[in-house]
Amino acid sequence: MEFILASSSPRRKQLLSGIISNFDIVPCNIDEDEFKQIEKDPQRLAKKLAYEKAYSIFTNKYRDDNEYTVIGSDTLVAFGNLILGKPKDKDDAIQMLKLLQGNSHDVYTGTTIIIKKEHSIIFETRLNKSTVYFKNMSYYDICSYVDTKEPLDKAGAYAVQGIGKVYLKGYDGDYNSIVGLDTNTIKEIFKKYNLI
């Protein structure tokens, strides 16, 4: 069985390597902004993007005779119904952190697994919701953190596994899902279909 991760994220690669040792990385080329303009609900959007990422790789390999499994994942940070993507610039990162500091917000991770096995094709899509709690941050704290550049390529302008963790009170839910890959769901689906 060939395994394919439809993402170039080093964090997802590291997390998936804790489940399976050999897999290919094939980044998908879907236009996420197109889907974000149509779907405003963060839960539905996280599932939709995970599905589209996996499906785009699956359709390229569909005529391949080998058995394979494609893993698609998408993680969204949402403050209420406001979806916080990667900041456009430093000012945008500062505005996001001003919103999040002293508050809680939700992190949704969609997972789609497509399995081509024994003349059948199986689709599984799931959603994980976690809640993250921020400490109060002064404007100086926010600017100092943004100056590290860590927030600039992270959804919601922070990394739970990086420098940003010092500004967090804690979380409810699954740590790996917050980082970017719902490893518990992946293990559960792999076991269900005897892939591991």
pLDDT band for position 60 (cuts 50, 70, 90)? confident
74 among known catalytic residues: yes
Residues 68-81 have pLDDT tens digits of 999 999 999 999 98
Q: pLDDT, tens digit, for every residue of 124-173? A: 999 999 999 999 999 999 999 999 999 999 999 999 999 999 999 999 99
Q: How many CB atoms lie within 10 A of CB 135?
A: 12
- 89-121 per-position pLDDT tens digit: 999 999 999 999 999 999 999 999 999 988 899
- Residue 46: the pLDDT is 97
pTM: 0.94
Q: Which CATH class is domain 2-192?
A: alpha beta
> What contacts 33, CB < 8 A, 6 or more positions away?
none
Instruction: Say how far apart CA 11 and CA 107 lie, in whole Å.
Output: 16
Q: Where are the domains of the chain?
A: 2-192
Six-digit token pair at 40? 């405003």
Marked catalytic residue, from 74, 106, 174, 182: 74
Longest dimension (CA), the chain: 59
What confidence category does residue 33 fall into, taking pLDDT thresholds of 50, 70 and 90?
confident
CA distances (Å), 121 to each of 12, 37, 69, 140, 173, in order? 24, 30, 10, 53, 31
